[in-house]
Each structure stands twice: as C-alpha cells, then as structure tokens.
C-alpha cells in the first residue's frame, strides 16, 4: 500500500520535471508561440495595406516584420506608389459628385496616422483641401503632412499658420486662413466643411453631396441663443496667454463693449458647412470683419462667429432658426460633444438653416 503511494508520487515528480525541462527548452530556443501584433495596434493606412498583402501572400504577421513607421512618400517610395498602395480614388465616382465639388478645411496639430486615415477617407479628386498645421506642431508631424500633401494637386498647406490656443481666436483664425486660401482656388466648390484631425466621415462623398444639395444653398450652422451660463464668454474679456511650454485662455472680469452693428450673439457649433457665397461674405463684409475684431478677446469665438453671422436677417432669409431640429452635420463624427454644457448633446442636433 505504502509502496504504491511512493510509486505514484515518484511518477508525478518525474512527470513534473520532464514538463519543466521541456518548457525551459522551448523558451530558451525561442520556440514559444510567436508574439503576434495586438489587435488595434495598426492605425496607419499604409501599414494596414502591407498587413493585408502579407495575409494574402501567406506570410506570418509578427512584431518584427511589420513596418510601424508610416509608409509615406518620406519612406523612399514615389507618390504614385503611395497612391496605388493606399487605394486612393483618382476619378470622380459619379456625375453628381463631379458637378458638386466640396472644399475641406482641416485644422490639425498631432497624430499623423489619424490625419492620414481621415484624409484618405474624405479624399476625392474633384474636391479641394486646405490643411492648417498648428505652428507649435513638431517637425516630426509637419514634415510628413507636407510630404503627403505634395502628392495631390488639389490639396495644400494653409498659406498662413497660427499658433493655436484652445478656445482662443487663433482657433477660429486657422479656419479663416484656410477659407481665404480656398476662395482663391480654381476649384468651383459649392460648400466648405471644416474638420479637426479627430473627425471621421460617417457617409460617402456622394451621400454628403446629396445631403448638402437638400439645403438648396443654405448654410449648416447649428446653434441657439446662448444659455445663461454661456453669456459670460462674450460679456467679459478673455485673453490668449502663449508661453513656450503651454498656452491657455485667461478669464477676466473686464466687461466688453456691446457687439458691433447691434448684432445678436448666438451660440452653437464651431463645425459648420458653408456655401461659397457665404464664405465670401464672411471674409469681405464689414459686419463680419467687425464681429471678428470684437471676438478677439472672447472665449471660444468659433462657437458664436459662424452662427451669429448666419442669423443676420438681411443676409440670409430666416428659415428654421432655433426650432429647426435635425442632425446638424450627420456625415461627420466629431471628436467630442460641446462640454461642459448640460445641453451639449442636444446642441449638436440643432441646425440653423438660413
């Protein structure tokens, strides 16, 4: 009885030692299971293309053989190779789209991979694209952006760059700089759409065109009269503070003058879709110029500038202003809602069409 028990214990110990030696041998000889790339780690569209090619050709996808540096024209490939590998659309896909070109304003400051995927997703050859890169952005970001855009005749960097301060006039000015450049473009665009680097399209270009055509030359500027806790943003002065390592908006208790031309200030989204006619008005009309000057020491002027101008009665007929409820710009997914407003989730669906 005791002998049988000792024999079982001995077999167990011998088996355990054998398993340990086997595992140690496998580990020291790198025969353990390969360390595959974690799901979700590949964000660059060029890298995704290479991964797809490896899958098709039956190659193993390991950490060591995935080029994690973005495969841009900086990496010893021609523009044509880049466009081919990333499957860029180089001809209009329909007559409707060809006859209704769009202009995009893209304000970015970081995450080249994310920008590259956004640009690839919204790119069409009949459209035109102005990209504003924050003056504070690193060369490691600016250089690949410039290299990428150099491959496209209808995409370019803004002629004037701003050092953008969050919620400051510089953020609005970045949009306006691109808008000025786009007005000078030979592309006969119908609407301009502004985006940030973290946006992403929810619709195809054709669906966006069809949606915008439905507005019959009206602008999309979501907004309402400012709630009480927002009025402070335009009633008191707020000053941009720029330092070498950081920047911010300084709140003060200094009262501002009343808005110029007796304008009623509205509050809404900084992300809009504007007609070319309205873009010209924004850049040239004295009321727009004066409102911009008045807004230079307000908080987040891009959230009142577009919507306020679009509410001037003699510029655009008042049609469905505050009570018109829709999805605003349902073709683009914004990075965040307007926070910290209690009504933020509702504001994104209030569309002024005038």
Structural Rg of the chain based on CA atoms: 27
Digit-coded pLDDT (tens) for 331-354 = 776 554 333 322 222 223 323 444
Contact 313, 319 (CB under 8 A): no
Please state, rounded to an integer, the average pLDDT across all residues of the chain.
82
Short-list 275, 315, 100, 289, CA closest to 182 = 275
Residue 323: predicted pLDDT: 35
Contact 182, 192 (CB under 8 A): yes
Q: Which helix (H) or strand (E) holds 200?
A: strand 200-201
For residue 98, with 0-12 CB atoms within 10 Å meaning exposed, 13-18 middle and 19 or more buried, which class applies? middle
Whether the model pTM is above 0.75: yes
Digit-coded pLDDT (tens) for 178-229 = 999 999 999 999 999 999 989 999 999 999 999 999 999 999 999 999 999 9
Digit-coded pLDDT (tens) for 250-276 = 999 999 999 999 999 999 999 999 999
Catalytic residue IDs: 303
pLDDT beyond 60 at 318: no
Over residues 39-43, mean pLDDT: 43
* CA 93 from centroid of its chain's CA atoms: 24
DSSP string, 36-92: BPPTT----HHHHHHHHHHHHTT---BGGGS--S--STTSS--HHHHHHHTT---S-
Residue 69: predicted pLDDT: 52
Contact 225, 194 (CB under 8 A): no
Report the distance separating Cα 312 and Cα 287, nearest Å: 10
Among 5-9, 83-87, 235-239, where is mean pLDDT lowest?
5-9
Report the distance separating Cα 62 and Cα 42, nearest Å: 12
pLDDT beyond 50 at 316: yes
Q: How many CB atoms lie within 10 A of CB 283?
A: 14
Backbone φ, ψ for residue 273 (5° rounding): -130, 120
Residue 330: predicted pLDDT: 76
Token pair belonging to 67: 């080029």
Report the distance separating Cα 149 and Cα 133, nearest Å: 12
Q: Which CATH class is domain 93-343?
A: alpha beta
Contact 259, 226 (CB under 8 A): no
- First-residue to last-residue Cα distance in the chain: 96
20 or 211, higher pLDDT: 211
Beta bridge partners of 248: 241
Q: How many CB atoms lie within 10 A of CB 70?
A: 17
Residue 287: predicted pLDDT: 98
Digit-coded pLDDT (tens) for 56-112 = 777 766 666 665 555 555 567 899 999 999 999 999 999 999 999 999 999 999 999
Report the distance separating Cα 308 and Cα 294, nearest Å: 13
């Amino acid at each position: 009885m005791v002998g049988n028990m000792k024999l079982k214990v001995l077999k167990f110990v011998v088996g355990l030692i054998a398993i340990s030696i086997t595992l140690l041998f496998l580990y020291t000889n790198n025969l353990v299971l390969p360390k595959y790339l974690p799901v979700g780690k590949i964000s660059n569209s060029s890298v995704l293309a290479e991964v797809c090619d490896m899958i098709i050709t039956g190659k193993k996808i390991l950490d060591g053989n995935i080029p994690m540096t973005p495969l841009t024209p900086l990496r010893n490939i021609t523009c044509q190779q880049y466009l081919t590998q990333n499957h860029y659309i180089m001809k209009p896909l329909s007559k409707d789209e060809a006859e209704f070109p769009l202009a995009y304003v893209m304000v970015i400051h970081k995450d080249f991979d994310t920008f590259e995927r956004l640009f690839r997703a919204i790119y069409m050859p009949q459209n035109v694209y102005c990209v504003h890169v924050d003056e504070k952005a690193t060369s490691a970001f600016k250089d690949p952006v410039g290299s990428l855009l150099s491959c496209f005749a209808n995409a370019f960097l803004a002629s004037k760059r701003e050092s953008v301060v969050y919620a400051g006039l510089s953020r609005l000015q970045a949009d306006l700089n691109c808008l000025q450049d786009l007005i000078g473009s030979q592309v006969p665009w119908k609407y301009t759409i502004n985006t940030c680097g973290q946006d992403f399209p929810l619709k195809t270009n054709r669906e966006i065109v069809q949606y915008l055509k439905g507005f019959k030359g009206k602008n999309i500027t979501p907004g309402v009269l400012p709630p009480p806790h927002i009025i402070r943003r335009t009633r008191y002065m707020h000053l941009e503070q720029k330092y070498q390592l950081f920047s911010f908006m300084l709140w003060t208790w200094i009262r501002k003058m009343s808005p110029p031309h007796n304008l009623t200030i509205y509050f809404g989204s900084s992300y809009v879709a504007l007609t070319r006619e309205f873009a010209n008005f924004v850049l040239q009309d004295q009321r727009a110029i004066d409102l911009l000057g008045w807004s230079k020491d307000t908080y987040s002027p891009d959230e009142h500038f577009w919507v306020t101008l679009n509410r001037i009665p003699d510029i655009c007929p008042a049609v469905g202003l505050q009570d018109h409820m829709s999805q605003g710009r349902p073709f683009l997914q914004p990075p965040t809602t307007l926070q910290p407003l209690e009504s933020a989730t509702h504001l994104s669906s209030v569309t002024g069409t005038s």
